[in-house]
A and B are shown apart, each in its own frame.
Chain A
Amino acid sequence: MSMKTSTRQVDGVTIVDCSGRITLGEGSVILKDVVRELLSKGQKKILLNLGDVNYIDSSGIGELVSAFTTVRNQGGELKLLNLTKKVHDLLQITKLYTVFDVKDDEANAVKSFS
């Protein structure tokens, strides 16, 4: 299953609901394009809901890092929501869990944006 995304707005935060696989090729490209488009529209408070992402490879991890730094460099914030166990474990072993701001409750996550 390839990656799919849909976006919605909640209190000034853009929530990107992702599903499928973020892997080398299509999945990573889709994520990059979504974040780029949001930034181009001035939407810099981004919450990536990864609750339905069941697989990420090293390219997908790289794309998450790229999205995080790109948003931050433009003065925005990108946070992660609802990690599956597999994705959580991957971010733990790559020491990225403490780099990303990871949330598990959508309402609290939305409130946490400055």
Chain B
Amino acid sequence: MTEQRVSYTLDSTLETVDSAEQAASRIATEAGFDDDEVMRIAMAVREAAVNAVLHGNAYDPGKKVSLAFEQTGGNLVITIKDQGKGLDPDKIPDPLAPENLLKTSGRGIFLIRSFMDEVVISASQTGTEIKLVKHVHGPSEGVKEASQ
């Protein structure tokens, strides 16, 4: 994996969500992930972008979403930051709890955690930053996993 960094500053719009997903799909493909992993990475980025645009910046045209992709040390590291009030990850209800199964929202962070290897959420009064990490597995590891 060649080390490189790409960053974007995006408006708080639905188009940003689609753009973030498409950029993630393209960069994950270029980084050598297979189709299933590309889909998972792109969906995690989409969900993080939805949180940033809707819940963080609340579609405020004066607030931006920062998106960065970094390929370093065998990892694809993706950072999404908004300028909202800050998300407290401890206050997110468990979407798998029986009483929450039929809720119509609240699954975004859960899907992100399901699809990425590491997820770090840092919240402050000036916004929320979510860092997503996906490890690039070598071919030998892939064969080992497939044979198990």
Give A contacts to B, CB under 8 Å: 23-25, 57-59, 61-63, 65-66, 68-69, 86, 90, 93-96, 99
Contacts and interface: CB of A to CB of B under 8 A. Distances in A.
A96 B101 contact: yes
30 contacts: A23-B46, A24-B14, A24-B17, A24-B50, A25-B17, A57-B43, A57-B46, A57-B47, A57-B50, A58-B50, A58-B107, A58-B111, A59-B105, A61-B107, A62-B103, A62-B104, A62-B105, A62-B107, A63-B104, A65-B102, A66-B104, A69-B102, A86-B39, A90-B111, A94-B95, A94-B96, A94-B107, A94-B110, A94-B111, A99-B102
Closest 6 CB pairs of A and B: A62-B104, A58-B107, A58-B108, A66-B104, A25-B14, A62-B105
Interface residues of B, number: 20
Contacts of B14: 24-25
A63 B110 CA distance: 17
B7 interface: no
Interface string B82-111: 000000000000011000011111011011
Contacts of B104: 62-63, 65-66
A90 B40 CA distance: 10
A62 B102 CA distance: 8
B72 interface: no
A62 B111 CA distance: 13
